[in-house]
């Protein structure tokens, strides 16, 4: 039973995202979320430390196709982007340094 659960988990994480699949990258500094049902990306700086957060959407073979950032203002920022065929990946990072977070590759 346990082996089947592990195999099912591996298959679920290895496949591309399908319609109505949301993705969130987060750390103690903030988060970036993709809402597939409306093709909207949201980014939010949750730590008023003088540094903002940035997110990129990269399409395989084309490079960065969208940039979004937040920091220094009230509220979160949102941006629409029509994710189509191809493989996409989100990246999220804090301007103060540290590791870049990456999503799995996804498509519609």
The pLDDT, as a whole number, for residue 72 is 74
pTM over 0.95: no
Q: In CATH, what number does 17-102 get?
A: 2.60.40
Kindly list the distances between the CA atom of residue 63 and the CA atoms of 21, 31, 60, 101, in Å, as whole numbers in the listed order: 22, 22, 6, 17
> Exposed/middle/buried for 56, CB within 10 Å: 0-12, 13-18, 19+?
buried
The pLDDT, as a whole number, for residue 80 is 96
The pLDDT, as a whole number, for residue 96 is 92
Q: Distance between CA 56 and CA 23 in Å, rounded?
A: 13
pLDDT digits (tens), the chain, 108 positions: 444 443 333 333 334 444 446 899 999 999 999 999 999 999 999 988 899 999 999 999 999 999 999 997 888 999 999 998 999 999 999 999 999 999 999 988
Whether 81 contacts 41, CB under 8 Å? yes
């Amino acid at each position: 039973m346990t082996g089947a659960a592990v195999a099912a988990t591996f298959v679920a994480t290895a496949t591309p995202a399908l319609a109505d699949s949301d993705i969130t990258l987060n750390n103690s500094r903030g988060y970036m979320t993709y809402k597939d049902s409306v093709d909207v990306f949201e980014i939010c700086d949750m730590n008023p430390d003088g540094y903002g957060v940035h997110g990129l959407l990269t399409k395989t073979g084309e490079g960065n196709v969208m940039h979004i950032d937040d920091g220094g203002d009230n509220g979160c920022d949102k941006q629409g982007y029509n994710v189509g065929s191809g493989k996409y990946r989100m990246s999220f990072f804090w301007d103060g340094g540290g590791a870049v977070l990456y999503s799995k590759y996804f498509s519609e």
